[in-house]
Amino acid sequence: MRVWADNPLWRAWGGLMALGALTTLAAARGGQVAAPVLGAAILALAWAKARLILGRYLDLDRAPAWRRGFSGVIGAFLVLLYGIYLIPAV
């Protein structure tokens, strides 16, 4: 009875749980990794989660142009956040 494996929303939920666990592990390793690398990893995981939500839950997999547009805007915002994050290091 693997109904969840056939449903894309359940697979997306599992992917979000896995990405959330990776984010938690990355944050827990904060003292062992350089701050810029850790910040980039956490923001990259946030971008992956946003793409998963856009694609599956908002059903933008059916509209690839919209998905690319939203992903581009979110990616640009995360790059801006990363730049702001790096300001104290300069």
What's at 27, amino acid-wise?
A: A
Give the pLDDT band (50/70/90) at residue 84.
Answer: very high
Instruction: Count CB atoms within 10 A of the CB of residue 85.
Output: 17
Measured distance CA(67)–CA(6) in Å, rounded: 23
Task: State the total domains in the chain.
Answer: 1
| Residue 1 in this model has a pLDDT that exceeds 60 | no
pLDDT in tens, 19-77: 999 999 998 987 788 888 999 999 999 999 999 999 988 889 899 999 999 999 999 99
**What pLDDT does residue 33 have?**
83
Phi-psi domain of 34 (left: phi exceeds 0; alpha: psi -120 through 50; beta: other): beta
| Residue 2 in this model has a pLDDT that exceeds 80 | no
pTM listed for this prediction = 0.84
**What pLDDT does residue 4 have?**
67
What range defines the domain where residue 72 resides?
3-89
